[in-house]
Structure 1
Amino acid sequence: MNYPAFTSLALKLIGVIFILSSLLDYVTLAVPLQWESQQWQIGLVTSVVDRGVVPLVGIGFILVGYWIDSLADASPMKKSGFDLRFPIFILSAVLGLVFLLMVPLHLNNLNVAKTNALEQIQQGAGQGAQQIQNFLTQVDALSKNPQRLNGQLQQLNQAIETGQVQGQQLNAQQLEAARQQRDQLQGLRDLAKNPAEYKKRTDELKKQLETQLVTRRKQAEDQAKTQALKQSLRIGLSSLMLAIVYFVIGVFGLRISMSSPKMASRPKAPKR
């Protein structure tokens, strides 16, 4: 049994399977096409780059197979006159160009996504500030209406004593929430009797809520920036390195193919 020829053929077949399966995977990832969606583009580029080594492994298997052929000087592929190296080098150059173009595309999409995320965070912060103001306005209105305040306290006390609200039984968590709300309203009623202390406490509460809002906004902004930076470095550098490797294999392989008489033209069989 010609082991070198068998090994060469097996490596070439494995390499072809690697390349075809990866190309089929790329097509599957791209369907359905949504070019107008930047999130779709980011997901597609990320998935393609994460799988970018698979065709490279296939190309490596095929080239190693031909290297074994050159050492053994015997191969079924050579006898058939079909050489995989030339189309493989073309595919490698094309993949190099694709991965190179993905770098600016991905960086631009990540920058736009980061900008949109920061704008949404700013809008959320503005809505949060408005909610804080509305809450303080409601508290102030409630403190200036003793009858309404006492009415709510009576309803809460009744609910806590009976354990029911409008005929529905309250669970332990709901009862605890009702007790906390009753304590807050009682504290508000006591503060309303002392305007100076009431203003001091409401100012402290407003400052506390605004500080929490600013802290959450800063954390969200830092997280969005960090995530964009990590994606830029990981996918951008990986795509760039893949582009360089594919270009080197494709360009130098094509040059060798053009200059090699065995690959540029096949000798014709002698006439009888």
Structure 2
Amino acid sequence: MKATNSLPTAPFVLRLIGIILIVSALVNYLSILFPPNFSDKTWFVAVIAQLVDRGIVPLVGLGFIFTGSFLEHGSLASGDRGKPFGTFRFWALLLSLLLGLLFLAAFPLHLNNTRQVSDQELERIDREAKDAESQLDVQVQQRQQQITAALRDPNQAKQLDDQLKQIDAAIASGQLKGDQLEQARRAQKELQALKANPNSVADRAKEFRNQQLTGLRERRQTAENDARSRFWKNGVQVGINSLLLSLAYFIVGWVGLKEMGVLGGKRKPVMR
């Protein structure tokens, strides 16, 4: 018996899978774009990154469609002698060119927006660091004034003597070990220095301020390095992927339309 063709043949299944992949990708793209907020650079960066991340899906769908067409006809050219504009393959190839333009335009847009977002992040880090330094100066100055006033007060001076006696007794008793003993000796040394020279409060406040400033500036430098790293990782990586996708879609669209004869090339004969 002669085998009869039925719908679930290889070309039909391949084209069906391709159509589903392309339609689902386009629906996904629309869901990413809504609600639009083009004035927000952060939103724009995230949207382009997601579009590029899913950019391979329509390309795979086009591959399924054209593989099915090749299995059925032997080329992308249609079997009829009518105009190719009425064929599904033509519109699929046109979509490929449009996606190529989309990803080509996404490259400079994403780099520019990512750079602006990175600059905004660096400005925020710089502003917060300056605010923290200003607050530190105020706190150190206030604490210095409080300690100086306390040392001039007889009652506070007596409390300082009592604290020294308690620390001396604790160290002499031998009950403190390890870190506790080290902390007690450090406190003893600081209190003795304050008692012997109340004017050393300014020097100690300056030393404390310098220590805190060092920590603040180290955290600021780390935050700035992280912001620059995110720019290169997100901006450059997504940009290169966008260019590669654009090139792939342009090649598919150009070669396919040329084979169909739309771009002036000779239409290849259809395999019978």
Q: CA deviation at 1:262?
A: 7.6
Q: Which moved more, 1:193-202 or 1:39-48?
A: 193-202
Instruction: Confirm whether residue 236 of structure 1 aligns to residue 248 of structure 2.
Output: no
Secondary structure at the residue paired with 2:37?
coil
Separation in 2 of the partners of 1:29 and 1:261?
A: 39
Q: Judge conservation of contact 2:148–2:198 (CA < 8 Å) in 1.
A: no
State the partner residue of 2:225. Answer: 222
5+ long unaligned stretches in structure 2:
164-182
Q: Judge conservation of contact 1:143–1:189 (CA < 8 Å) in 2.
A: no
State the partner residue of 1:89. Answer: 93
Matched to 1:53, the amino acid is I
5+ long unaligned stretches in structure 1:
158-179, 264-272
Instruction: Confirm whether residue 114 of structure 1 aligns to residue 125 of structure 2.
Output: no
Q: CA deviation at 1:206?
A: 1.2
Separation in 1 of the partners of 2:205 and 2:230?
A: 37
- When the two structures are superposed, what TM-score results if normalisation uses the length of structure 2? 0.75
Q: Judge conservation of contact 2:103–2:242 (CA < 8 Å) in 1.
A: yes
Secondary structure at the residue paired with 1:32?
coil
CA distance 1:228–1:24, change in 2 (3 Å): same
Q: CA deviation at 1:35?
A: 1.1
Of 138, 142, 156, which aligns to 1:138?
142
For residues 15-34 of structure 1, the C-alpha deviation after alignment (integer angstroms, 9 at most, x for no partner) is 00000000000001100011
Separation in 2 of the partners of 1:36 and 1:192?
A: 62
CA distance 1:248–1:149, change in 2 (3 Å): farther
Instruction: Confirm whether residue 60 of structure 1 aligns to residue 56 of structure 2.
Output: no
State the partner residue of 1:49. Answer: 52
Matched to 1:207, the amino acid is N
Separation in 1 of the partners of 2:210 and 2:13?
A: 72
State the partner residue of 1:124. Answer: 128
Matches within 5 A, 1:72-87: 83-87=87-91
The total of aligned residue pairs comes to: 230
CA distance 1:14–1:54, change in 2 (3 Å): same
Separation in 1 of the partners of 2:154 and 2:98?
A: 75
- When the two structures are superposed, what TM-score results if normalisation uses the length of structure 1? 0.75
CA-based RMSD: 3.2
Q: CA deviation at 1:148?
A: 11
Q: CA deviation at 1:201?
A: 2.0
Separation in 2 of the partners of 1:118 and 1:39?
A: 14
CA distance 1:17–1:78, change in 2 (3 Å): farther
Q: Judge conservation of contact 2:259–2:267 (CA < 8 Å) in 1.
A: no
The share of aligned pairs that are identical, in percent, is 32
Q: CA deviation at 1:254?
A: 1.3
